[in-house]
Amino acid sequence: MIEGLVSVIMPTYNSGKFLAESIESILNQTYKHLELLITDDCSSDEDTINLLAKYQKEDNRVRVVSLKQNSGPGVARNHSIERAQGQYIAFCDSDDRWMPNKLEIQLATMTKTGKALCCSSYIICDDNNNNIGINISPSRITFGMMKCDNKVGCLTAIYDVKALGRKYYMPIIRKRQDWALFLSITKDCKEACGIKEPLAYYRKRSNSVSSRKLSLVKYNIAVYRQCLGFSKTKSLSYFFFCFLPTYTAKRLKQKVDSFKFTRF
């Protein structure tokens, strides 16, 4: 482990359209002591392949590994986590981007609060970088809150390996791996800190895996069963009486916050 180093985890798959913008937002951080670990999930897009080769050649902080078969973002992230040398691990997908001072603000906040996991609010944009909404993070996030729904935006998350140990990986489920990961972390650290200031841009794409909400139902149940060890009955109970009301309220709040953000 290298003290103070931030290992940034990025999975890629045919993401040439937005990849350069995403990588630049990381390499241009005001906090420079970082490594960018990219695992490509068997891309066939020449733009993606060429851009990865270009950045790895130009900046020695960029380290790229390519998988031989498409395995999903969770597997790709785990490959990068395995290679991480940093005291801190952070995440950014290849179509999202960070604000220049993201890491600097988060590391200062973690030092001040003593929290080992930190996230922030983030702005929602479309494929043309138009701001279309905002997701405002709670200032404190507990394990109890996380059992009802994911409160940690993966693109804003950073955790301290020195404080928590090198033991966290994303479970091998096709979707909702990030929720499962942060459930495990908050179970151990009890409470995470959230920063109200938006420090990243999340790209909402109509054809993305995360945008197909109805298909996520079975994966929510899978998180309860496989990651928390709940029985089928308890998993269904949590889904209908905990997750659904919480998720519905969150979506409503996000719509209101987004309306205010884009209008004013």
CB 161 within 8 A of CB 87: yes
* 3-state class percentages of the chain: helix first, strand second, coil last, to nearest 5: 45, 25, 30
Q: pLDDT tens, position by position, for the chain (264 residues)?
A: 899 999 999 999 999 899 999 999 999 999 999 999 999 999 999 999 999 999 999 999 999 999 999 888 888 999 999 999 999 999 999 999 999 999 999 999 999 999 999 999 999 999 998 999 999 999 999 999 999 999 999 999 999 999 999 899 988 877 889 999 999 999 999 899 999 999 999 998 765 545 456 667 888 999 999 889 999 999 999 999 999 999 999 999 999 999 888 886
Alpha carbon distance 129, 86 (integer Å): 31
Task: Say how many C-beta atoms besides its own lie within 10 A of residue 7's C-beta.
Answer: 24
Give the integer Cα–Cα distance in Å for 130 and 197. Answer: 19
Q: What is the DSSP letter of 225?
A: I
Task: Please tell me the number of Cα atoms within 13 Å of 249 on its side-chain side.
Answer: 10
Q: CA-to-CA distance for 221 and 92, rounded, in angstroms?
A: 25
**What does the alpha-carbon distance between residue 134 and residue 123 come to, in Å, rounded to a whole number?**
4
Structural domains in the chain plus CATH codes: 2-263 (3.90.550.10)
Distance CA 128, CA 26 (A): 20
